[in-house]
Amino acid sequence: MPDIVTGARIDLGRLRASILEMAAIGATAAGGVTRLTLTDEDRAARDLFARWCADAGLTLRLDDMGTQYARYEGRDPSLAPVLLGSHLDSVPAGGKYDGPLGVLTGLEVVRALRDAGLRGRRAIEIVNFTNEEGARFEPAMVASAVLVGAYTADFVHHRRDATGLRFGDELDRIGYRGDAANRPGAIHAYLELHIEQGPVLESENLPLAAVEGILGIRWFNVTLRGQSQHAGPSPMRSRRDAMVAAGRIIVGLRELALSYPDPVVATVGRLRPVPGVINQIPAEVVMSADVRHWTDEGLAEIAGKAEALMRRIAVEERVEIDIETIQNVPPTRFDPRLVELLDASIQAVGAPSRRMVAGAGHDAKYMNDITPTAMLFVRTIGGMSHCESEEIAWDDARLGAETLLRAALRLAEEP
């Protein structure tokens, strides 16, 4: 039954079939996907996406970063288009939905409009951003970053993967280097549908959320230098043990984050003792700390407290400490009007409304710098992402597609 407002009808069977066919490219035995950017698998995914777009009567463009744009023309081609996008690349042994769900739901939206003979005043373009993940070429989200001027195209083309291959050469090799002239010009709005990648919607029994922004990130590389001694003949009170200092920092950062409300987080993901042998007090421990907050002031505060905590523990444990800030990403605030529109669209398709702040980076972060932007999150089963067991419920995918359809059409109708 067509949506009573849009007159178009999301075909969940078609959306599901597209997602599963896409997931077959680079499929892993355990049900996941390994489809690193600019590999043969990525080329196959792009070819498939391009074929579907051509079948749907869309016009394809390719920019100098390899980003694909598939345009469903509007009634007035002179107006700035509405962009719906995400990415088709994955992390190693990643999941079927992180990225493709956004691209293919965008495709389903225009397929539904075309089937219904509907066309917005403005064009709708489906975007597949190159290398969102940064799993093969660092940093992540380079294609949207180039669009907004955060990196130059030249910088990105010279990035190398772990085997020394260059981004630009691999773009040529798979036949997906396009033209800078094909980058979008003026953009009316950007919407990105994505799996939540966290457990909040599931725990609150909600299918969708309108995303208001993205947490700001401060990354520290912390080096603790104590005294390496044999584990046997070194009395506890005489030790200057870098591992004990690291242990206290891990626990202290967790307590610090717990002193803030959700979604403030602090994480230690990386830790390496040197020499790292069972019967030797380590001379050195190198560890990471990742703290996130949704406001500039909050991020500055928690990062300052984290640093003070680490320095205090180092003094107490009589170890030297070097704290290096290796990443400092300010919080992103999406366009309030678009967040409101997504929120209303969620309610319009009959789902309860919830706003939230994203914890991870997405191309929407950069796009927000040049056009009104917002994101729509779809519940992720068990909060699991970047892994082969990443899963969603198809009913949620349908609700997400219906929400995106309403919001996109509303934006496309704007004068």
Which positions lie near a second copy, rule CB under 8 A?
196-200, 203, 215, 217, 219, 227-238, 241, 243-244, 246-251, 254, 257-258, 262-273, 276-282, 288, 290, 292, 358-361, 383-387
User: Which residue's CB is nearer to a second copy, number 237 or number 415?
Assistant: 237
SS3 39: coil
Q: How far apart are CA 12 and CA 394, in angstroms?
A: 8
Q: Give me the least distance between CB of 131 and a second copy, in Å please.
A: 16
Cβ 270 to a second copy, closest distance in Å?
5
CB of 168 or CB of 207, closer to a second copy: 207
Tell me how far, at minimum, the Cβ of 355 lies from a second copy, in Å.
14
Residue 263 contacts by C-beta under 8 Å, 6 or more apart in sequence?
A: 200, 215, 292, 294, 356, 357, 359
Nearer to a second copy, 79 or 384 (CB): 384
Is-contact 252 271, C-beta < 8 A?
no
Instruction: Determine if the peptide bond prior to 261 is cis (ω within 30°).
Output: no
Residue closer to a second copy (CB basis): 75 or 270: 270
In whole angstroms, how close is the CB of 268 to a second copy at the nearest point? 5
Other beta carbons less than 10 A from residue 39's beta carbon: 18
Distance of closest approach, residue 241 Cβ to a second copy, in angstroms: 7
Q: How far is the CB of 63 from a second copy (least distance, A)?
A: 28
Burial class (CB in 10 A: 0-12, 13-18, 19+), 340: middle
User: Which pairing describes strands 373-378 and 208-214: parallel, antiparallel, or unpaired?
Assistant: antiparallel
What are φ and ψ of residue 392, in 5° steps?
Answer: -135, 170
CA–CA separation, 305 vs 249, rounded Å? Answer: 12
Q: How many angstroms separate the Cα of 103 from the Cα of each of 7, 19, 91, 94?
A: 22, 10, 16, 16
Tell me the C-alpha to C-alpha distance, in Å, between residue 193 and each of 3, 34, 141, 332, 356.
19, 21, 16, 16, 14
Asked whether 189 and 80 are in contact (CB, 8 A), the reply is: no
| Minimum separation from the CB atom of position 176 to a second copy (A) | 27
For a second copy, give the closer residue by CB, 141 or 281.
Answer: 281
> Would you say 181 or 278 has its CB closer to a second copy?
278
Q: Which is nearer to a second copy, 64 or 317 (CB)?
A: 317
| Beta carbon nearer to a second copy, 125 or 196 | 196
CB of 341 vs a second copy, minimal distance in Å: 22
First to last CA, the chain: 28
Element (H, E) at 220: strand 216-225
